[in-house]
Amino acid sequence: MKKRLITFTALLVAASSAWAGDDTPTALTNRDAIALVQEHANFVWTLVAACLVFFMQAGFALVEAGFTRAKNVINIMMKNLMDFSMGSLAYWAVGFGLMFGVSKGGFIGTSGFFLSDYTPGGDPWILAFWMFQVVFAATAATIVSGAMAERTKFSAYLIYSVLISAIIYPIFGSWAWGGLLNGSGWLEKLGFIDFAGSTVVHSVGGWAALAGAMVLGPRMGKYTKDGKVKPILGHNIGLAALGVFILWLGWFGFNPGSTTTADKSIAMIFVNTNLSAASASVAAMVVSWIIFGKPEVGMSLNGALAGLVGITAGCANVTPTSAIIIGLIAGVLVVFSVLFFDKCRIDDPVGAISVHGVCGAWGTLAAGIFDMGGFSMSVVTVQLIGIAACFAWTFPTAFGLFKLLEKTMGLRVSPEEEMEGLDLCEHGGTAYPNFEVFNYGGGGGSPKAAGGMGEAVALKRPPEPAH
C-alpha cells in the first residue's frame, strides 16, 4: 500500500509539473505521467460506476417484492440473487466472448471465453471492462423476473436466467456494442446510437419478459370470465418506492459510467438522466390522475423508471431540454402501455414490459430524433432498424426457450402452489414469520389502476408471557 501511494504521488507531482510548465526531468515524461493518472482515474470511475449498477439489483428486488404479494417475497429475492450469481458465471464462461470477442461478419464474437483474453500480468482493463459489462448483463436478466412473478417454477427460471446472460443478451449486444473491445457489430457499423442500453439492455429484457408472460399466462384471479381486469394488489408500496429511488441512484452509474472515462462529459449525462426521470414521473402522475381520479403511486413510480429507460440511449447526444421531452413522452407512454397489455390479458405484475420494452424502444428512437448533431432521417432509420432487430432476435428466441421449458420440465407451478405462495412451496419458508397474510387488497396503490399495489398484512399477536 505504501509503495502504491508513493508511486501515485510521484505521478501527481510529474503531472503537476507539466501543468505548471516545469521542465525539471522526472522519472516519467510529463506527458506519460498525465496519461497514467488519467488511466488510473478511468479504472476508478468505471469500477465505481459498476458498483452503482450492481446496487440496482437491490432496487429491482425491492420494486418487484413491493408490487407483488407477501407470500412470494422469498421467491423474488432468490430469483434476483440468482440472476446475478448464475448470470455472472454464465457471462464469464460464454456471454462476454460472444459479445466482445473477435467478430466475423459483425454477428457474433468468437474469442475471449472464460476471460481468456486476460492473462496474469496482462492488461487489467479487460477485468475492469468485464466487471462493468457483467452488471449490465445481470440487469437485462433480472428485468424478466417481475413480469413472470408469482407463478413461475424456480428451477425453470434458473435455466432461463443462465441462457439470457450467456446467449440472448450477448448476441444482440455484439451487434450494437462489440466494437467497444474486440468485436465489430453490424448495427454499430450502420451508426446505431444506444449509448448505455435503452435497447441493448432494457428492450432485450422487456421483450424477453413479454415472451415469458405470454407463455405463462396470467395469475389466477387476474381477469374475470368476461375479460375485465381484477387488480392483484402488491403488499408493500414502501418497498417498491425505495426500490425506485435505489434504481434512480444506480442509473447515475449506468448512464454516465458508460463513458468508462473520467472526464467532463459525464456532467451532461448526469443532468439528462435526472431530468428525464423527473419529467416522466410527473407526466405519469398527471395522466394517472386524469384517468383514475387520483395521483396513482404505482404509475408515478413506473413513470420515473420509464424516463430513466427512455434517456439511456441518448443520454450523451441530446440536450437537457430534449431529455425533458423524452421523459415526458415516456411517462405518458408507460401508463397507456400498462393499460394496453392488461386489456390484452398479458399479466405483468410490475409493468416490466412497458417500462423496459416499450420505453426502451421509444428511448432508442428518441436518440435519433433529438440528436444534437441535427435531425437526419437516415439516422432515425438506423434507429428503427436496431429496434426491429432487437425484437426480431429477442422475442422469438425467448418465446421458444420458454415453450421448450414448458414442454419439458414445466414452467408454471400448480394452481395449489400458486394459491399457497411460492415462498412455502418452492423455498419452504415465509418472508414474514410473525405476520398473517390475507389475499385481498389494501395497503397501498389504487385498485382502479391495472397492476395496482397493496395487500393486507395483519400482525399476529404474540403469546402472553407465562407468569
pLDDT band at 421 (very low <50, low <70, confident <90, very high): very high
Residue holding cell 466482445? 100
Instruction: Confirm whether 2 is domain-assigned.
Output: no
For residues 175 and 186, is the Cβ–Cβ distance under 8 A?
A: yes
Instruction: Confirm whether 434 is domain-assigned.
Output: no
Whether the per-residue pLDDT at 286 is higher than 80: the answer is yes
pLDDT band at 227 (very low <50, low <70, confident <90, very high): confident
Q: How does the average pLDDT of the chain come out, rounded?
A: 90
Instruction: Confirm whether 87 is domain-assigned.
Output: yes
More confident residue, 437 or 91: 91
Instruction: Confirm whether 56 is domain-assigned.
Output: yes
pLDDT band at 121 (very low <50, low <70, confident <90, very high): confident
Q: Which of 45, 43, 67, 315 is nearest to 202 (CA)?
A: 315
Share of the chain above pLDDT 90, in %: 83
Instruction: Confirm whether 112 is domain-assigned.
Output: yes
| Element holding 403 (H helix, E strand) | helix 377-408
Whether the per-residue pLDDT at 444 is higher than 50: the answer is no
Q: How many domains does the chain have?
A: 1
Whether the per-residue pLDDT at 5 is higher than 90: the answer is no
Whether the per-residue pLDDT at 4 is higher than 70: the answer is no
CATH code at position 191: 1.10.3430.10
Q: Which of 395, 387, 350 is nearest to 369 (CA)?
A: 387
* Predicted TM-score of the model (pTM): 0.90
Residue holding cell 438506423? 382
Instruction: Identify the domain containing residue 98 by its residue range.
Output: 39-422
Give the per-residue pLDDT at 435: 64
* Least trusted range by pLDDT, from 9-23, 87-101, 214-228: 9-23
Instruction: Confirm whether 214 is domain-assigned.
Output: yes
Give the per-residue pLDDT at 61: 98
Whether the per-residue pLDDT at 7 is higher than 80: the answer is no
Instruction: Confirm whether 160 is domain-assigned.
Output: yes
Instruction: Confirm whether 458 is domain-assigned.
Output: no
